[in-house]
Amino acid sequence: MELRSIGSLRVSVVGLGCNNFGMRIDEPATGRVVGAALEAGINFFDTADIYGSTKSEEFLGRALAGRRHQAIVATKFGMAVDDQRKGARPEYVHRAAEDSLKRLRTDYIDLYQLHQPDPEVPIADTLGALDQLVKAGKVKEIGCSNFSANQLDEAARAATPGTAPVVSVQNEYSLLNREPEASVLPACERLGLAFLPFFPLASGLLTGKYEPGKAAPKDSRLSLSWTSRFTTDRNVRIAEALKAFAAAREHTLLELAVSWLAARPCVASVIAGATSPEQVRANVAAVSWSLTPEDLSEIDRLAPLT
């Protein structure tokens, strides 16, 4: 598996998104998925305190028992766990980190990410608390999620010499949502940040399993009510065109979606979720397609940046 950099971390180009843990799959199934990921060469596991109502971190921590050294663990804080546990105030940053460390059964977090901007707290204050965690050895690198280019610039300006800088940003990005190309990816190149795309498969629409005019498979993410925003007429039309493009080249839509992201500037790891070992292995195999400049040009025509 190819490794890429997030600050000082070296992560697999295909990572495992852990938001299914505790929500769509239980602890034994989580263990099987994590085991399959490690066996397939994945070392990057991305979770958050809110995933599975904190169960994701718990399940991941137990699944990595005895093999924590094989994993690069990323988690997030800031979205509301409950009415008291939320936001980016310095005092809460420390509490959230301690809670995550306990649930993950570890004494350090490889990549600790602010899940979303907190308009009520100056970013410099939050970065100061995160720097304290780095200096204490509880966090190795710090990142952010759902940040705009302007917010990334603000965070870069707020980092003072000798303090830990933000090294990554995690935003939604896929063949069906190319918004980061307008300003966030250029900001990443300018600031030297790694980019982590979430919803790289558009919540399952880019796996090739969805058939227009038919209900999503009952066990799929697309069957969940909140995913309806992905199955717009535009997205379904583009997905079908991309599926035909891939098939004409003896590849799957999943292979196209993952390989295209891996070919994008600044992308460090494509963190696709999985609910079974089979899905893990499919995600890993999907990155093997080396797209040509001609392929990329045709993909731009089929799935244009809007």
User: CATH number of the domain that 174 lies in?
Assistant: 3.20.20.100
Q: Does residue 214 lie in a domain region?
A: no
> Which of 125, 288, 90, 274 has its CA nearest to residue 200?
274
Q: Does residue 29 lie in a domain region?
A: yes
Can you spell out the DSSP letters for 172-187? E-BTTB-GGGTTHHHH
Q: What is the pTM of this model?
A: 0.92
pLDDT 10s per residue in the chain (306 long)?
899 999 999 999 999 999 999 999 999 999 999 999 999 999 999 999 999 999 999 999 999 999 999 999 999 999 999 989 999 999 999 999 999 999 999 999 999 999 999 999 999 999 999 999 999 999 999 999 999 999 999 999 998 889 999 999 999 999 999 999 999 999 999 999 999 999 999 988 999 887 776 666 666 555 455 567 787 889 999 999 999 999 999 999 999 999 999 999 899 999 999 999 999 999 999 999 999 999 999 999 999 987
Q: Does residue 163 lie in a domain region?
A: yes
Q: Does residue 219 lie in a domain region?
A: no
Q: Does residue 277 lie in a domain region?
A: yes
Q: Does residue 75 lie in a domain region?
A: yes
Tokens representing 220 are 């799929």
Q: Does residue 90 lie in a domain region?
A: yes
Number of domains in the chain: 1
CA–chain centroid gap for 27, Å, is 21
Q: Catalytic residue numbers?
A: 51
Residue 111 is part of which domain span? 3-202+256-290
Handedness of CA 290, 294, 300, 302 (dihedral sign): negative
In 105-148, which residue ranges form alpha helices assigned H by DSSP? 123-135
Q: Does residue 236 lie in a domain region?
A: no
